[in-house]
Structure 1
């Protein structure tokens, strides 16, 4: 992807971190993977998966900010997701999906923190926020909190598909008196 401008020592900490991460990744671009032991390979795969979640968390944080500030307006884009898609060559559908999650994470701090820590993956974060947001308006905040917390704990053991199944019946677990009604 092309750079959007030149960087200085006065960059925002987020831009400085992105630049540093990019430099670190370039430094190992040609490192031979064949020299990793099996244990190192397993460790690298797990930690890289966590790293992708962490990087995506930062991307979504900036995307939510971009959406709030309507950064695409200056160029005539109809939405932030359209502007983002045009400048990164991702599909508009993917950009819109990311913006939706970015905005949802702003109202689901524990999910945002879990993603930032690499404790949940992006698809799992989608599932948790979607499941909690799909609860009826009559559901009390404490029940929503229990549902979110249950799903976050379950994310340590289940992939997004299995988590989605649990999310559909979450009231049966955290508030059976409501779920069975």
Structure 2
């Protein structure tokens, strides 16, 4: 006697043969739409039947000498082995999940939805009671009438909040604790100088630290207008990645060195060594005296050294002939917090002509460079945004002081 499942398969094959020559071009729109929905449901029901047989076909693999029925099916049906292995896993899941299996069998859940639901149930914490898992299964199968696989996967991640909120918080706390512990074990950071004036920073940090960094960078990029054009320049789009990189550089300069750890017997301080001639001239270079061990970020332009002297916690070691130390500047060369607040009250925004970057995102700048005798007082100070502060120390640009004290930048001829 032939088994009913084989009878059904033969009859289904005969029905399909009866429409093999039927051209769907002659169907009206309503019939096509209905047929597509109905055939999809039938396809899921046929697939469920096949998977039901697959879950109980271990003897087939044993008779053929293969590892499992998925490997056997891949060879016999000339399909991808990975696809057959996934189907076997789903078949075994459906065998253990009667509510989900019934949904697929009745055409209420398609295979993609079933995979999403099965994955969500598998991701539930191991300590969750089986009755709660059953409630989660029933809820997700009900959601399948409205939501697709992607939405079901998202709902599945929070399904405990729906069926067992008293369990969800504790389970989530344990999961997060495990993730945080793993993140701290796996976090890495590498700083590698490329030798072309740039340094590659790559790493892996915990989500909480990454979110904190992103928040800090947003303070510099929104609504800050990086690279705001001067009146003589055309407007140009700046890539977001470049804005973020500039924000990261600005963040490093904004850090308060007094709050950083002590190392080497002194506060965290950057020493910049430069000759008196280079300091006074537009061209020249300076040396960073204390790069990180194993790194080579040891050369910058004199213009960059002069700019850093306005804002960074650096010690400018000025050398005369025969490397004689003429001046070892101290951080008192920097504007104090009180002076910074007074400049913000007075200037309110960047003092470059036409720039409206607010004072909160500006940097204190010496009108007369300290290298030429400038003083760190309010009369000699002014606020410039990061873009224009770089311009002020760029030898390719000159700055004219306007009647109201603002600066007008233009490229040197």
TM-score, with length taken from structure 2: 0.40
Say if 2:155 is the partner of 1:166: yes
Residue 142 (structure 1) shift: 2.2
Give, in angstroms, the shift of residue 33 of structure 1.
0.4
Pairs within 5 Å for 1:73-152: 73-152=62-141
Q: Secondary structure at the match of 2:57?
A: helix
Q: d(CA) in 1 for partners of 2:138 and 2:61?
A: 35
Specify the alignment match of 2:46 in structure 1.
Answer: 55
Separation in structure 2 between the aligned mates of residue 75 and residue 135 of structure 1, nearest angstrom: 36
Q: Show the counterpart of 1:38.
A: 29
Give the superposition deviation at 1:11: 1.5
Question: How far does residue 180 in structure 1 lie from its aligned partner after superposition?
Answer: 2.2
Give ranges in structure 1 of 5+ residues lacking alignment. Answer: 1-9
**C-alpha deviations, 1:23-51, integer Å up to 9, x for none?**
10011011110121111111100000000
Mean alpha-carbon deviation: is it higher for 124-133 or for 111-120? 124-133
Matched with 1:27 is 18
Q: CA deviation at 1:138?
A: 1.5
CA distance in 2, matches of 1:161, 1:44: 25
Per-residue CA deviation, residues 69-113 of structure 1 (Å, 9 max, x unaligned), is: 3x1222222221111110001111111111101111111001111
Shift, 1:168, TM fit: 1.2
**In structure 2, distance between residues paired with 1:140 and 1:65:** 27
Distance 1:74 1:16 in 2: 23
More helix by share: 1
Unaligned runs of 5+ residues in structure 2 are 171-413
Q: Which secondary structure does the structure 2 equivalent of 1:72 belong to?
A: helix
Which structure: larger Rg?
A: 2
Equivalents in 2 of 1:106, 1:72: separation in Å? Answer: 18
Aligned length: 170
SS of structure 2 residue aligned to 1:136: coil
Higher strand share: 2
2:381 aligned residue: none
Matched residues in 1 for 2:114 and 2:64: separation? 31
Match of 2:209 in 1: none
RMSD: 1.2
Aligned to 2:304: none
